[in-house]
Amino acid sequence: MKICIVGAGGIGASIGARLALAGHEVSLVARGAHLKAIRAGGLHLIDQVNQVEQALPLPADDEPALLARQTGVQDVIFIGLKAHAIGAMLPRIAPLEGPETVVVPAINGLPWWYFHREGGALDGSSVRALDPNAEMFAALDPRHILGCVVHIAAEVRSPGSVHYTGGRRLILGEPDRSQSPRLLRVCEALQAAGFDAVASQDIRHDVWLKLIGNLSFNPVAALTGYLMNQICADDGVLEVIRKVMLEGMAVAAAYGQPMTMTVDQRIDLARQLGAARISMLQDLEQRRPLELDAIVGAVLELGASQAIEMPVTRLVHALAVARTRALGIATDVSTQKGTQ
């Protein structure tokens, strides 16, 4: 297949590199020093999961329209951007899209498409913290979308070099919960590339299962500087994690997604990532905007819409926002509440 990775950071580049090794025609949308290094020496994959190290010469550009002239319409587009960068990019990837192109947002947090074909009273609505004017739905017809939940760890430690450090699971699902041929085809490609790719029957449940962890671990990592294993070894910090998880689980249940996993089971799942540097900590250290809207703000918004009290989550969120301001990091935090 022709596959474009839009946002060749840690997760996107790792997925792209593994797919290229499996024989697919992979291209990358990257920028800055990272793009320059990829053009000069290829994408350098240091795969600690599969014990592979290789430089891959892949087409790369910072402008999707120019990349489309080289590679043509894509079969699959993986979006590996931070949540707050997606809105501006969606109109730009149009030249890469055809009628049958599948778009897979491999992103953290609550996705902007969450209520597309959800089937309930909020079907078709947008989350105002993520897409206040439904501009993202206008920029990309949501029929192209396959949901994706990522359970791998990776980071770009130097320009052109990606370290894939842990996990194999990628969960994909149709917004309407169907087991479509395109869903199975993409999962098969990822399986052949060395991932544990799962075709979900309810991708929103999988979104919440990961989001409960991100909601708690990510801002705490940014505040403490802890790696995942350090958080899990600190009983005092774990108590905060547990309280935030319980508040998030109450919101998930209010939207028809009661968790089938206990708090301690969810923490045990996080422990499997070992000494991973969580994405929000990576962003803080690189002085990049944190995904606070998608990971925390959107959940607070949905909780407020259901009159669910979330005092510990609000406290952690306020501290994380204050931390970014103290460091002079631009924030993506929205002041809007409720759904539209």
Catalytic-labelled residue, pool 36, 210, 243, 337: 210
Question: Which class for 42: exposed (0-12), middle (13-18), buried (19 or more C-beta within 10 A)?
Answer: middle
Q: Are 136 and 90 in contact (CB under 8 A)?
A: yes
Question: Which class for 173: exposed (0-12), middle (13-18), buried (19 or more C-beta within 10 A)?
Answer: buried
Q: Are 311 and 268 in contact (CB under 8 A)?
A: no
DSSP state of 56: E
Q: How many CB atoms lie within 10 A of CB 20?
A: 23
Residue 332's pLDDT is what? 60
Strand order in the sheet with 25-29: 60-61, 25-29, 2-6, 76-79, 102-105
In terms of Cα–Cα distance, which of 264, 198, 187, 272 is closest to 228? Answer: 272
N residues, the chain: 340
Percent of residues in the chain assigned helix, strand, coil, to nearest 5: 45, 20, 35
**Residue whose structure tokens are 């950071």:** 9
Tokens representing residue 27 in the block:
């291209």
Class of the CATH-defined domain 205-326: mainly alpha
Q: Give the Cα separation of 242 and 264 in Å (integer).
A: 8
Fold of 2-201: Rossmann fold (3.40.50)
- In the chain, the amino acid numbered 313 is T
- In the chain, the amino acid numbered 324 is T
Q: What global pTM score does this model have?
A: 0.91
Q: Are 257 and 205 in contact (CB under 8 A)?
A: yes
Tokens representing residue 63 in the block:
């402008």
Q: Are 196 and 169 in contact (CB under 8 A)?
A: yes
Q: Give the Cα separation of 295 and 279 in Å (integer).
A: 11
Q: Give the Cα separation of 283 and 201 in Å (integer).
A: 32
Domains of the chain: which residue ranges? 2-201, 205-326
Told to judge if 82 belongs to the known catalytic residues of this protein, a careful annotator would answer: no
Q: What is the mean pLDDT of each run of 10 residues along the chain (340 residues)?
A: 96 97 98 97 96 97 97 98 93 97 95 92 88 90 96 92 93 97 98 98 96 96 96 97 98 96 93 86 92 95 96 98 92 40
Residue 126's pLDDT is what? 86
Domain 2-201 shares a fold with domain 205-326: no
Residue 337's pLDDT is what? 33
Residue 336's pLDDT is what? 33
Question: Pairing mode, if any, of strands 43-47 and 52-56?
Answer: antiparallel
